[in-house]
Structure 1
Amino acid sequence: MAKTKPEISHELGSALADQFPIRVYRRRKWEFDRIWGYVIGLSHEWVALQQLSDGVYVDGVTVVRILDVFDVEDLEENRYIERAVKVLGRPDSNFQLGPDATTRDVLSSASRHGKMLGVRFEADSDDPLMIGRVTGFGERKFEMMLINAAGVWATTPTREWYGDVTQVFVGDRYSTALARFGDSYPLSP
């Protein structure tokens, strides 16, 4: 039986307070339906995790809607993960997520945290992943200048609904490589 949102929030709050690794399971069969990491921020609607790739390598910050989480697995008993992360390194994260953070707040914080960010729209989109830079915040939509997998920037920003966002990530290896080795950002002064 799936856990309730209050149960999920309580487990995420415990993981934030105690700083033990967890695995988050998201509701649908998306490409990334399990996320390993350390909770570094928690709001009423979102959870920020310092994501672990391959179980032990810190790979940026990912923020997911709590509404999409159906289970949280406590990995505190798995001392291997903690030993490996300690030796391999767990950098401090200055990612900020307030208790009343909205999607706009999540995108704004991610934009301050890194040059490039990824946004997922898994629920309703034919193109569920967009990577780029947020160029503007409106009341119900935001603008984002996109970069493709070849490192080429779009010529104009795209506008997307806040309500369609299901995940935001920043500081991961993929988007960091695009920021570093992709074409020059076209809107730079």
Structure 2
Amino acid sequence: MSKADRLRRAAGSQALVRIKRSPRNADRIDGIVVAVGSKWALIAHTGDGGFFEGLIAIRVKDVVTVKRDLSFEERFARTQPEWPPTAPANLDLDTTAGLLRGMSAISPMIAIEQERRFHSRMAWIGVVHEITKRWLWLRLVRPNATWRKRPLGYKLRRITKVFISDRYLTALAAIAGTGPTH
């Protein structure tokens, strides 16, 4: 069974799953698979206890295992107001540029990771400035919650994970101000 088929089966079951990915330093994703495209899978991410924490898109090719989580967290997730989690309409999971455009339309801020580029988990959080055929340009929020003046570029092919969360990312935006100044 292919990686995409395993993810599609998980999406059909609406079961809480644990997804192990490559490379080795990539974090495990816990949640409910809500959509699968040719390049990207979208997961309604759950944190400790089964609380929904946002949407995570991961590359299908990076999936190593998809295992059902048999803990109480799935039963708890089903009691949350976000249940059942669904994929946003018209989200492009077949291209990286389309995914980024769609995710940035849903949330004012996005986080990306490039797990193959660095041997540790590093996330960049910001507002999309521009998306070209090969590059994403982000206006970043610094660790001290101030805006970086100039956007930084990231090669689309190196992005391995995209994350949005109303709670987490919007809180950062509030701390940093209403948004980057142009």
Fold equivalence (TM over 0.5):
yes
Aligned to 1:3: none
User: Residue by residue, what CA displacement relative to the aligned partner does 1:116-166 show, whole Å, maximum 9, x if unpaired?
Assistant: 110001111488310001111112112110001221100011111101100
Matched, 1:108 2:88: no
Matches of 2:98 and 2:55 in 1, distance apart? Answer: 15
Alignment equivalent of 2:22, drawn from 22, 27, 44 = 27
Structure 1 residue 119 corresponds to structure 2 residue 119: no
What is the rounded CA distance, in whole Å, between the counterparts of 1:182 and 1:79 in structure 2?
37
Query: Take 1:94 and 1:33, find their aligned partners in 2: how far apart are those partners?
Result: 22
Match 1:63 to one of 41, 46, 57: 57
- Matched-pair contact (CA < 8 Å) for 1:61–1:172: no
CA distance in 2, matches of 1:180, 1:137: 24
Match of 2:81 in 1: 89
Match of 2:124 among 130, 136, 141: 130
1:9 is matched with: 4
Q: Please provide the CA RMSD for this pair.
A: 2.1
Q: Distance in 1 between matches of 2:28 and 2:117?
A: 20
Q: In structure 2, how many angstroms separate the alpha carbons of the residues matched to 1:132 and 1:43?
A: 25
**1:162-177 aligned within 5 A:** 162-171=156-165, 173-177=167-171
- Residue identity matched to 1:68: D
User: Normalising by structure 1, what TM-score?
Assistant: 0.85
Contact 2:42/2:56 (8 A) holds in 1: yes
CA distance in 2, matches of 1:45, 1:186: 30
Tell me by how many angstroms 1:79 deviates. 6.5
Gapped runs of 5+ residues in structure 2? none
**Equivalent AA in structure 2 for residue 87 of structure 1:** T
Query: How big is the shift at 1:82?
Result: 2.8
Structure 2 residue identity aligned to 1:155 = K
Q: Distance in 1 between matches of 2:132 and 2:92?
A: 20
Matched, 1:72 2:66: yes
For structure 1, which runs of at least 5 residues remain unmatched after alignment?
A: 1-5
Contact 2:51-2:77 at 8 Å conserved across structures: yes
Q: Secondary structure at the match of 2:35?
A: strand
SS at match of 2:34: strand
Q: Aligned partners of 1:79, 1:157: CA distance in 2, in Å? A: 42
Identify if the C-alpha distance between structure 1 residues 68 and 55 changes in structure 2 by more than 3 Å, giving closer, same or farther: farther
**Aligned residue pairs: how many?**
179
Residue 51 of structure 1 is matched in structure 2 by 45
